[in-house]
Structure 1
């Protein structure tokens, strides 16, 4: 019967060909999904086997004489992981970041173990450990890490496999994988010990390329041109990655412009041409409708403000928030406004080491960071105590040194103003009994702050191919920033803040060993507890002592002085501090410093080039305070 069906089918096809009619073959989605799932499962089992081998080898190791074998097996295990990472991390994001390949730092679990502190573990911790000193103590640490990884991988395999894929999600896995390579692989973030990012990126790249090629089976005629273009982009990228083995000299800017951005855009065009519906597996901040890593809408700030009073993209609330932002009526004695410490002409900062308070001659405890691009974050303030932009407003209102008032007093003032009554009614009418209330005031200011986005700098225009003009020293500076100088491993592209790629779900803080003064003779650590003292139970841990939010370096040329205490007057001072290895590198005992304490060995020219790049991130031209 089956043979007869095949013959009839062949006969039917021949008749169509002879009649001159074009045969339309339906897109063989199931075949693609089955092939990708089979490949992924085989690669996952391969990774699982390498983890087993690592645990066995570590447990058998009785002395440091077997160190090189352990180092080699860690590399093999990590390379096997890189074949599955772009899919595994997409579907198991939080588990991956907590147990399989998270940063080698203690963290508080927000998803699995009720705010329990989870010690460093997983592949990054192993990469760091095997490149540390060969000692019996470290050998025991590696054994514990390897056994812990084996336990976690075996556990997740039972839940994760078989994986259920959709076509659009496979493409999104690949697109997020490209972002991951550029922001975490090529910056060295993912390989803190070996700095093996280029070699691992080749493996990731090839795995994504192999996966994508399965889409050739039965694709729509309209998608063939994009398919061929994507094949060329993958080939070019693979050749560039393979040809470059020196981490410090890899041309990341050329790779971004010539491969990463074109490939990222072409994958979306292919998806659209093939009529593959956008169906994200889960909500991420990465906006899969964007075409360029440096598009203004590459990240969706709505992700960080899901629980606000009204969505923050309402033009009426933004306009109202702008008015409130510059209005001193919000403070107790009508002496301060938001703009007092966040001046648009100074990049929405104030140019002071620590901000002026409402009391003459008294200053606040910290420097005022820029509000530009503040919306691209999961936590707010230097100590990260506020969880959204609305709550950030509340902290300023009731601070004794800032507005020193309460919402009842502010509401009473605003209710006396007919213009405000009209604007609040237009923006918030019908939501609550009173239009002017704590939530509506906070929401309006949050909406304005959220609108302050700066993706039209000279750098952005250059990498989007909107201009051919870009300084040579800034090109060198970008490559240093994203490579040798390791700036990009904390200040992640495209916002260049601490919100972690490729899904940008969480924002990081760092312990840098900031001092009270930049005095190399009588160094003293700054005593500000930072995140540990922010009042949140989940952050009250010793490893977060002196830990501060990683803020954006966009518009950094306008926002001196720098750091939470305004320690550094110039960018030259900032680079000098990092070049020395922070407080620990300068000889201080710094608990849990997350900044590597080894000198960066940057030359004076290299530091000047990095500054030249950061100066091209300036873009505040369209923002002014005042007016309706």
Structure 2
């Protein structure tokens, strides 16, 4: 694990964020009738249990126990967190990040610094396997958890939580279980997540019972209790992540629970929390049509998507007017039939020479914080103008382009109708292009159809492939359900990057030298050679693959991952975030995963 200097101002900022979040929780909501309600009593009980088990594990480590006992005690500690995860993740997200976040540094971009990772996932790496030489570091991490437990206690003593917030937090937890939980995101090393999910589900059940009235008792609440208990029964009988039947468990259990929760809300007359979120508030499952709201990713309200903006953006996307010499359009390099890629290894310049990177798909790029492979632009508005003005790509001048658009009566009228102004402005051009790109997410693949109830939508090979994707191959701990990209559910406020140790090509002989995000953050070692985790939707149409286009087929991609990335091939990648442990997938298993990936293509 890296030893990284801590900065006092970072700690100060985290405290400010925590206080701000606490203040938000006390505003504009009707509090629970009793501030010491059963909901809070359970939270305090679970947190006290978490603190006690942390102390017990600390004492055990100091006594030099055997590894098996240590791991068992650690698993018990993790389950105590799962009992209160729904509340900590919702009301204290910064605290949650340092209790159960990934064992990777947090990046303070403005200060170009790394914040040391800590918490349960860091401890997992130290305990599976356990090296007694790391005892002091394990104790230090456990002391940090003690501090976080005290933070939880102090905050929940200070804040008033309301019934609608509690419901919203529980609903969010059901979606967390249906994405990060079922993928094993929390336990990438030990793989014990299937044994943990029952504790999180039980917490949802118990807390819903505590806030319920007679309105839903014999209706939705009864259905939720029955479905959660059935899920727990199944989970307790099936704890092996490599043989678990994800393809049936998700639609037959988890999707039913998230749907029944909406019935509960309606029957109990619980108002939705009025905030813009990526996952629409009334959505029943991750796979419902129109489940996701692209407006959660726009830079401001005036940039929100509309049919009129999409229509105009599509026209301009296909118009050569955006390039300097009217020789190419956006569609030149982003071909609709190829999921808005170009099928080439590298993008081509205006002079037909290869550029540095592969053309990324624009499908589903609306649901990412960070555009381009290196995430150098925050949103699609910035992405569109960067391409237009790049001298090697379109070499356009935005001022001259706007002048040409305003000289065209058709375009000038369309902009005036949408934006209620006399002439088009640069930000409006960026916005209509971005709006069109935001519309390129149809969610109508065979996989989506299966998850919506069509049991004939997938072949047996594709079903097996999905189970491998979720379990043995561990794909879903980076490409999260259901967007299959690196934007982290269920809040979708962050898009992750990874360091895979990519080679120059599929021979895997020489490491690729592209610094990725590291080009813009030269002092942050963690970001060197890191790239955005893109969506796998429509991946069957977007080859060749990786940021450099060096892998021509999905078979080559699977072989790279199966070996353990660049490190697995002996390439020097000091900060590789992909596990270098071989997946040990057979040729048949890799073929089944590829079959499943092809089921992510939209029709």
TM normalised by structure 2 equals 0.91
Q: Which residue of 1 aligns with 2:560?
A: 577
C-alpha distance in 2 between matches for 1:540 and 1:404? 31
Q: 1:249 is paired with a residue of what secondary structure?
A: coil
Contact 1:492 1:500 in 2 (8 A): yes
User: Do residues 94 (structure 1) and 94 (structure 2) align?
Assistant: yes
Q: Which residue of 1 aligns with 2:359?
A: 368
Q: How far did 1:76 drift? A: 2.0
Q: Which residue of 1 aligns with 2:514?
A: 528
Q: Which residue of 1 aligns with 2:24?
A: none
Q: How far did 1:31 drift? A: 6.7
Q: Which residue of 1 aligns with 2:118?
A: 121
Q: How far did 1:100 drift? A: 1.3
Q: Which residue of 2 aligns with 1:22?
A: none
Q: Aligned runs of 1:373-392 on 2, under 5 Å?
A: 373-392=364-383
Structure 2: which 5+ residue stretches go unaligned?
1-30
Q: Which residue of 1 aligns with 2:268?
A: 274
Q: Which residue of 2 aligns with 1:228?
A: 222
Q: How far did 1:153 drift? A: 2.9
Classify 1:464/1:549 alpha carbon distance in 2 versus 1 (closer, same or farther; 3 Å).
Answer: same
Classify 1:293/1:328 alpha carbon distance in 2 versus 1 (closer, same or farther; 3 Å).
Answer: same
Q: 2:242 is paired with a residue of what secondary structure?
A: helix
Contact 2:44 2:153 in 1 (8 A): no
Q: How far did 1:388 drift? A: 1.1
C-alpha distance in 2 between matches for 1:435 and 1:310? 17
Contact 1:33 1:166 in 2 (8 A): no
Q: How far did 1:399 drift? A: 1.3
User: Do residues 214 (structure 1) and 210 (structure 2) align?
Assistant: yes
Contact 2:35 2:160 in 1 (8 A): no
Among 516, 531, 535, the residue aligned to 2:504: 516
Q: How far did 1:135 drift? A: 4.2
Q: Which residue of 1 aligns with 2:253?
A: 259
Contact 2:358 2:549 in 1 (8 A): yes
Q: Which residue of 2 aligns with 1:331?
A: 323
Q: Aligned runs of 1:523-602 on 2, under 5 Å?
A: 523-533=509-519, 535=520, 537=521, 540-602=523-585
Q: Which residue of 1 aligns with 2:418?
A: 427
TM normalised by structure 1 equals 0.87
C-alpha distance in 2 between matches for 1:604 and 1:32? 58
Among 468, 477, 489, the residue aligned to 1:489: 477
Contact 1:286 1:300 in 2 (8 A): yes
Q: How far did 1:471 drift? A: 0.8
Count of residues in correspondence between the two structures: 574
1:132-170 Cα deviation digits (max 9, x unpaired): 35241x223212222222223323432233553322322
C-alpha distance in 2 between matches for 1:577 and 1:296? 34
Q: Which residue of 2 aligns with 1:46?
A: 49
Contact 1:510 1:547 in 2 (8 A): yes
1:559-588 Cα deviation digits (max 9, x unpaired): 011100001111111111100000001111
Structure 1: which 5+ residue stretches go unaligned?
1-27, 622-628
Q: Aligned runs of 1:73-152 on 2, under 5 Å?
A: 73-97=73-97, 99-109=98-108, 116-136=113-133, 138-152=134-148
Q: 2:219 is paired with a residue of what secondary structure?
A: helix
User: Do residues 198 (structure 1) and 191 (structure 2) align?
Assistant: no
Q: Which residue of 1 aligns with 2:297?
A: 304
Q: How far did 1:503 drift? A: 1.3
User: Do residues 613 (structure 1) and 601 (structure 2) align?
Assistant: no
Q: How far did 1:295 drift? A: 2.0
Q: Which residue of 1 aligns with 2:12?
A: none
Q: How far did 1:49 drift? A: 2.2
C-alpha distance in 1 between matches for 2:159 and 2:88? 9
Classify 1:540/1:284 alpha carbon distance in 2 versus 1 (closer, same or farther; 3 Å).
Answer: farther
User: Do residues 442 (structure 1) and 430 (structure 2) align?
Assistant: yes
Greater mean deviation of Cα atoms: 32-41 or 450-459 = 32-41
Among 408, 427, 430, the residue aligned to 2:399: 408
Q: Which residue of 2 aligns with 1:36?
A: 39
C-alpha distance in 2 between matches for 1:290 and 1:183? 15
Contact 2:402 2:424 in 1 (8 A): yes
C-alpha distance in 1 between matches for 2:535 and 2:315? 25
Classify 1:78/1:506 alpha carbon distance in 2 versus 1 (closer, same or farther; 3 Å).
Answer: same
Q: How far did 1:389 drift? A: 1.1
Q: How far did 1:226 drift? A: 1.6
Q: Which residue of 2 aligns with 1:238?
A: 232
C-alpha distance in 2 between matches for 1:436 and 1:574? 44
C-alpha distance in 2 between matches for 1:380 and 1:33? 46
C-alpha distance in 2 between matches for 1:449 and 1:287? 19
C-alpha distance in 2 between matches for 1:403 and 1:540? 31
Q: Aligned runs of 1:159-170 on 2, under 5 Å?
A: 159-161=155-157, 163-170=159-166
Q: Aligned runs of 1:22-33 on 2, under 5 Å?
A: 30=33
C-alpha distance in 2 between matches for 1:32 and 1:464? 41
1:212-260 Cα deviation digits (max 9, x unpaired): 22245x322x663222211211111111111112111111111111111
Q: How far did 1:428 drift? A: 1.4
Among 167, 170, 174, the residue aligned to 1:174: 170
Q: 2:357 is paired with a residue of what secondary structure?
A: coil
Q: Which residue of 1 aligns with 2:23?
A: none
Q: How far did 1:206 drift? A: 1.6
Contact 1:107 1:117 in 2 (8 A): yes
